[in-house]
Amino acid sequence: MKLISSLSLFSSLLAITLSAADGFDIALPPSYPAEPPVGDPWSGLRVFDVNDYGGVADGKTNNSLALMAAWEDACYHQGGSMLLIPEGNYFVDQVTFSGPCFNDLSPKVLILGTLIAPTNLTADVWIHFDSLRRLSLTAGHLSTLDGRGAQTWSSGSRCRHAMTCAMFAISLKLSNVLNGTVSSINLVDSKAFHVSIHQCDNIHLSGFNITAPWYSQNTDGFHISQSTNISITNSKIGVGDDCVSIGPGSVNVLVSNVTCGPGHGISIGSLGRYKMENDVRGIWVENCTISGTQNGVRVKTWPGDHASNATNLTFQNIVMINVSNPIIIDQQYCPNSSCDSRESSSVKLSDINIRNISGTYNSEFAINMKCSSTKACENIRLSYINLTSINHQSDDDEDEEEGDVTGNFNFKGALNSFTIFNSTF
C-alpha cells in the first residue's frame, strides 16, 4: 500500500500499519574518483625535506616559514617532487600551500610527524591547500594534525544568535583543487571544522580518523561545499557536530564505509541560510555505522525566502546504534534561535530515497519530518526500515498480522508523494 499525502501546516503523531508494497526504482550512485594506484607512488621523486629548510621538530619552534620555503621549491621543481615532513612534533602557524605548480602537477605531500597548531590561531584556516591540480596528500599512521581547540570551545561560539560572523580556524582545507587523493590523515581537536572541501572537483578522501569531544562546538568532521565528484570512504569520525555535512553546491558526493559517533550524524545541509545558494543533487550515503549520535541521517534547511533545490538524495545500508532521531528532515532548522522558525523554508526537497536502515534509537520518534509548508517535500520513499526503541516493550504491542509494516513518526508541513513499505519503526 502507498501512502500519498498533500498536507500543510499541521503537526501530528501517526501510527502507520502498511502492507508490503511493490519495490520502486533507486537512483544510481554518483561517479567518484578511483582509488589511488597500487605501487610505490614516491619512487623517482625529488624530496624536499622541511628539516633542510630550517624545520625543527621540538614542538615549540614555528615551522611555517620552513614549510613555505620547502613547498615553493617543490612546487616549481621541473619534475616529480615530494614535500616531506619527517617524524617529530612540529609547531606550525597558519600555512597555505598554493599553486599553480610547474606543469600543473602538485608536489606529493607526505606527513610522518605531528603538526601542532597555536591555541590562539586567529586565521580562518590552519593548513590550506589552494588552487592546485593532481594533489596527493597522505600521512603516516603515527602522524596527527592537532588543532588544539579546547580553549576555543570553552570560550563559546562566535556565531551564537548571529546570521553572519567570523569562524574559528578549520584544521585542513582544500579549495579550488582539481583531481586529488587525501588519505590516512589523523586529526584531533580542531577549533572548527576538521576538514573543509570547497570549490573542488574529483577528490577522493579515505582512511581518515577524526576525533574531538562530543561537547566541542562546530567541529564537523568533513564539510563539503560548492564541490563536485567527492568521495569520503573508510573513515572513522567522532566529533561534537556533524560527522559529515554536505552543504550548498554539492553535486555527486559519495559517503561510504564511515563510522560516525559521537556527533550529530551525517547531514545534508544546512541549506537556505544565504541568498543565491547553488542546488544540491546526487548525494549517496551508504554502508555506514552511526552510534550514540544526536541524529542519524538528516536533511536540514533554514526557514526564509532563500530558494534552492536539493534532489536525488539516497541513504542506504546504514546501521544505527542508540541514536536519537535516526531519520530526520528538518526544514525549520534554526540553531540558537538565530532566525524566525515560524517562516517557511524556500528550499525544495525532492527524490529522497531512504532504504535498509536498521538498529536502535533512544528518542521518542524514529522518523521526524518537518517539511516546508510552501515547498512541499516531494517523492520521499522509505523501505526496509527496521528500527527499535531501546525502551521498546514487545508485550505492549497490539497484535499484528504477519507481513505488516508498523511505525510511528512525527510530521509537520506539506508532503507530496510519500511511500513506505516493508518497514518497522
Which residues are marked as active site?
264
Give CA–CA dist 5/19, Å, rounded: 17
Q: Which three cell numbers stand for residue 188?
A: 584531533
Within a 10 A sphere around the Cβ of 113, how many other Cβ atoms?
A: 24
Maximum Cα–Cα distance across the chain:
75
Residue 8's contacts (CB-CB under 8 Å, 6 or more residues apart) are 373, 376, 413, 414
Q: Provide the phi-psi class of 141: left if phi over 0, else alpha when psi is between -120 and 50, else beta.
A: alpha
The Cα 367–Cα 390 span in angstroms is 15
Contact 207, 181 (CB under 8 A): no
Q: Please, which residues bridge with residue 360 across strands?
A: 388
- Is the CB of residue 22 less than 8 Å from the CB of residue 415? no
Cβ(235)–Cβ(258) below 8 Å: yes
Please count the other Cβ atoms lying within 10 Å of the Cβ belonging to residue 78. Answer: 8
Q: How far is the C-alpha of 378 from the C-alpha of 1, rounded, in Å?
A: 18
The sign of the dihedral angle between the CA atoms of 281, 333, 198, 214 is negative
Q: Which is nearest to 232 in space by CA: 259, 199, 270, 263? A: 259
